[in-house]
Amino acid sequence: MLLILTLITTGLVVLALAGYLIAIAWALVDTKRSVAAIADGLEAVRDHTAPLPEKLTTINGALGALLGGLEAADRHLDRAGVVFGLR
């Protein structure tokens, strides 16, 4: 009788462990899918931002030209203010 109870208990422990291992394996498969989706998203971000440095160089040049124009306008307005006695 003791042998049968031992075998039944051992079988239940093995079944419980197998269930937990199956659950862990399933969670790892889901995690793999999530990580793959994140990696795909990061690759898409990399591809979309690849031309950014050359565009920023162009924008920086245009802003430099705009700065020169705004500084000239500021000087003209400053002189006009002196002429009209506003300064």
Mean pLDDT by 10 residues, the chain (87 residues): 95 97 98 97 93 89 93 94 85
The pLDDT assigned to 79 comes to 94
Q: Where are the domains of the chain?
A: 22-83
The answer to whether the predicted template modeling score (pTM) of the entire model surpasses 0.75 is: no
The pLDDT assigned to 52 comes to 86
- The contacts of residue 86 (CB under 8 Å, 6+ apart) are 80
The pLDDT assigned to 85 comes to 84
Cβ–Cβ < 8 Å for 78, 87: yes
The pLDDT assigned to 53 comes to 86
